[in-house]
Amino acid sequence: MTLLPFSIYSVEAAGQGIPITVTVLVALLVCLIPTTIGGLLPAIGIAGMDRMIQANVIAMSGRAVEAAGDVDVLLLDKTGTITLGNRQAVELIASEGVGIEQLADAAQISSLSDETPEGRSIVVLAKEKYGIRERHVHELGATFIPFTAQTRMSGVDLQDGRKIRKGSVDAIEAYVNKEGSVLTAGVKSAVERIAQGGGTPLVVADRGKVLGVVHLKDIVKGGIKERFAELRRMGIKTIMITGDNPLTAAAIAAEAGVDDFLAQATPETKLKLIRDTQQGGRLVAMTGDGTNDAPALAQADVAVAMNTGTQAAKEAGNMVDLDSNPTKLLEIVEIGKQLLITRGSLTTFSIANDVSKYFAIIPAAFATTYPALKVLNIMGLATPASAIMSAVIFNALIIVALIPLALRGVKYRAVGASRLLRDNFLIYGVGGIIAPFIGIKAIDMLLVALHLA
């Protein structure tokens, strides 16, 4: 708005030259406003959403995809994410004065209604290794006590008065303490040995008397340690969430290579961990599938609910994984990072591109008003008219040329922020300065050859 009257005044004051025209001013506006990145931002966002769909993840909003790229902390469930998730019973260890058959019988009965891989493996182990015939639930006339995140144990009440409980060490210890009993030294020793080896000990008790320990064994996924190392190089902290005791959690965490762990986790402790982390200015991502996970999912910045999970979990999250694969969280973070890297790279190119176009537009636009500005025509463009036409044409072509890169995305690499910034500046910053010099000069030569300017 001010350039036209200023040009007119300068011509009248100097007594020479020609004022700038409205056509040139429009060309100047078109070339120097950030049209490149403005035109490419929607394509970058759509491409990010499309990559999520290709990964079988439904994002509820584009903001969730963007937040995935800014995540600082990953909360990962141990079972199914870090480990294979099909823990199997491999050993029964009876308490002092208890027969192994008695322990196997109690462990099997308490697991008859347990449809988890752990529960079914206990039934099979008692049958195949200890010869305990598998019973049917309706034959026992039993009342089964389901497992909950609060009690952290399950069990069965039989008609003959037996009350069998199976669960975590601390939960069963509290249960037998109420019944006037304690964990024996042998049981404590077995629990510690299993935990230090990375296994999960389940204690079995009957009417307050500890019968023994079930050894559950899980396997850490191959290659997971290397992926965590990549995340660490990117500045992302990984925290393993598990209901196991601290000894087991520490052993698995060390083997998997996570940065920290939360043992004996409950919905309340998970929610507290997320809030405490966010208060430090960090963004948190997590996965969940149960109603107990809903509060934590609602609090997390990136919350991936499993498609096989409860309705409460899916409503609390901002993404749904159709494959119900908890490990997908790592891929989601990589997609978010690629989106942000692509946006940053093209923004850098756009700014550098505009700087170069100044050398084409400014001398051409004001050469008639200030003839001394012709020295800035370092591109050697033929005429002011050809310079303006070349810049406008290049400005339109560069957006079209960059659309494939915006859709494909800049290749994601697990490197630190400083190296990303350096590479981004060298490739897209320097490239953004050089490209207009070559492109505008080539278009100018073509226009002159065709006698269009």
Residues catalogued as catalytic: 77
Token pair for 264: 């004996």
CA distance 248 to 246: 6
End-to-end CA distance of the chain: 27
135 close to 125: Cβ distance less than 8 angstroms: no
CB environment 181-208: b (16+ within 10 A), e (fewer): eebbebbbebbeebbeebbbbbbbbbee
Task: Give 372's DSSP letter.
Answer: G
Q: Report the alpha-carbon distance of residue 53 to residue 319 in Å, rounded.
A: 11
Give backbone dihedrals phi and psi of 107, rounded to 5 degrees, phi first.
-65, -40
- Which residue has tokens 């144990």? 153
209-217 and 237-241 as β-strands: parallel, antiparallel, unpaired? unpaired
The DSSP call for residue 40 is H
Q: What is the DSSP letter of 371?
A: G
Tokens of 252: 């698995």
Identify the CA nearest to 290 among candidates 307, 270, 271, 310.
Answer: 310
DSSP codes joined into one string, 129-154 = TT-PPPPPHHHHT-EEE---TTT-EE
**Which single residue is written with the structure tokens 């690629």?**
338
